[in-house]
Amino acid sequence: MDLRHSKWVFGLSALTGYLVVVGLLLLFRAALEVILLVSVFLAISTFRVTRGWPPRPPHPRFGPKGTRRAGVIIPLVIVALAVLLAYNWRGDPPGFLPNAATLILSGGALGFIFFVASRSASRPSRACPECGGRIPPYGRIAKCPYCGHALS
């Protein structure tokens, strides 16, 4: 079945379902506001689905550059939140809490862990199929530097 034809079939079945729901609401004497609200929500969801039909293959959300950018921004946000949590906003006078150093250091450690994890995730790694040695991803290497196995 052609996917363009299935769009029409889906549209007709959605229209039928819409009429059945509105008919049931009228049968049970729902308020006019409820019928209008349900009609609007059904129309919006139907048009969103039919506009994106036929489905397309998903695109990757983040490439290596996006992962690196998020790997810098998110740790900074974590450290900033740790600093904000360590500040006593309701004190008289406002100031840092007694355990502020611990909170800020733990936020910094968590941010550092996230930074290192995102950096290692954004770099592809290769391994020798013979010995399992890690091969740097940059450049063209013909032989494994550890065992001499020919790489393709």
- The region of weakest confidence among 4-8, 75-79, 83-87 is 4-8
In sequence order, the 6+-apart residues with CB closer than 8 A to the CB of 14 are 46, 49, 50
pLDDT at 112: 92
Cα separation of the two ends of the chain: 42
Exposure of 75 by Cβ count < 10 A (0-12 exposed, 13-18 middle, 19+ buried)? buried
pLDDT at 106: 94
- The average pLDDT across 11-39 equals 85
* Average pLDDT over the chain, rounded to an integer: 80
> Is 54 within 8 Å of 3 (Cβ atoms)?
yes
Tokens of 55: 């489905």
- The average pLDDT across 43-52 equals 74
Domain layout of the chain by residue ranges = 3-51, 64-123
Exposure of 41 by Cβ count < 10 A (0-12 exposed, 13-18 middle, 19+ buried)? exposed
pLDDT at 87: 92
Token look-up 């992962």 returns 67
Confidence of residue 136 (pLDDT cuts 50, 70, 90): confident
Confidence of residue 125 (pLDDT cuts 50, 70, 90): low
Question: Other C-beta atoms within 10 Å of 78: how many?
Answer: 20
pLDDT at 141: 79
pLDDT at 77: 92
- The average pLDDT across 36-45 equals 83
Q: 35 pLDDT exceeds 80?
A: yes
Cut 0.85: pTM above it? no
DSSP-derived pairing of the beta strands 87-88 and 134-135? unpaired
pLDDT at 130: 82
Q: 80 pLDDT exceeds 80?
A: yes
